Amino acid sequence: MATLILHPGKEKSVLRRHPWLFSGAIAQLEGRARPGDTVDVVSHEGRPLARAAWSPASQIRARVWSFNAEETVDHAFFKRRVAAAVARRAGLPELAGQEGLRLIHAESDGLPGVIADRYGDTVVVQLSTAGADKWRTAIADSLQKATGCRRIYERSDVEVRGLEGLEAVTGWLYGAASDEQLVIEENDVRMAVDIFAGHKTGFYLDQRDNRRRVAALAQGRRVLNCFCYTAGFSLQALAGGAREVMSIDSSGPALATARGNLALNPQLDAARATWLEADVFAALRDLRSSGDRYDLIVLDPPKFAHTAAHAERAARAYKDINLTALRLLAPGGLLMSYSCSGGVSAELFQKIVAGAALDAGRTARIVQRLQGAADHPVDLAFPEGDYLKGLLLQVD
């Protein structure tokens, strides 16, 4: 096994149990290691610190598998880690009976680069790093044993794999495709999941609790759902008794799936739903010009900033949509606004929205801070995992 020697003082982050080692922290690699191989991590003085996956193509040169420098990283290691992640979720009552569930949340479950989501009896795996890619078979086998699932599909087609020197990989790891449409029930609403081409692994599981919150708030309100994708928030608003729900997205195929999801739920009043295929930024301005007003607006845009380097540009985009949305709200209305950009902190996001409220001439109060569901935990030593942040505002 090769040894990764750190520069003097660079062991501090490892001692704080942060799993990333950047190129600037590394003095040298003693021995030979291929991408994904496990290496010993030692301080400049030779003190054993951890065992990590080597990734020479990435600025994050190593990701820690274990902070126990003596722990063997083998098939049994992944069996233990996967089983522990599944068991943690089984111990949370609010996750009981969920048909859609995140089973492994990467670094926060001690498995950097590994995402695993379960939809009924199908598990979708996403491997984004060289280390995770190397242990594909062990991870899939461990997931099957821990869950008893019938199928495991790989969706390792995220752009970040390119930074690791990896090509996109998709396909069945266990079992085979079913002729039946994959549908899950969430908060009493049925939703189709496209594991082959849908965003992420096919569905945004992290917003489960926040969609339930919309249902609780929607009674009698005119609701505007921006960046609606396949209409998770929209259908929950209808289920909660919204008077009208307007859903906007720039993707025609996403809206077609959204309409299909509505058809899966005959208990919902389709006459209260309207759909608009348009650029959300332009559509919001058009609605403002027409004098339209809404009682509840949901802003759940795509990621505007992958890193802090893109935060300034992202801030302008977040301010733009929040400013126009605030102007569209009726007095006493509610704004549910999100950022999933890792490069935008919760503090910065609040400042952006506060600036938008000031420019809109509206007084807004935080009713609730919003985050990902309980199956998307955040390791205290890894704040980068806290990517989803949201604010529920009541606006005068």
The verdict on whether 149 is a catalytic residue reads: no
**What are the tokens at 388?**
């989803």
Give the integer Cα–Cα distance in Å for 362 and 333: 11
User: Dihedral (C-alpha) 179, 140, 190, 223: value to the nearest 10 degrees?
Assistant: -130
Give the integer Cα–Cα distance in Å for 247 and 256: 12
From the candidates 149, 226, 228, 340, give the one annotated as an active-site residue. Answer: 340
Closest CA relative to residue 74, chosen from 119, 6, 134, 20: 134
Dihedral pair phi/psi, residue 311, rounded to 5°: -65, -40
Residue pair 156/126 in contact by the 8 Å Cβ criterion:
yes
Question: Which class for 45: exposed (0-12), middle (13-18), buried (19 or more C-beta within 10 A)?
Answer: exposed
Chain centroid to Cα 231, Å, comes to: 17
Closest CA relative to residue 231, chosen from 183, 190, 288: 190
Give the integer Cα–Cα distance in Å for 188 and 240: 11
Q: Apex CA 99: angle with CA 96 and CA 102, to 5°?
A: 80
Give the integer Cα–Cα distance in Å for 326 and 158: 33
Give the integer Cα–Cα distance in Å for 199 and 106: 17
Which positions ≥6 away from 307 have C-beta within 8 Å? 342, 343
Indicate which residues carry an active-site annotation.
340
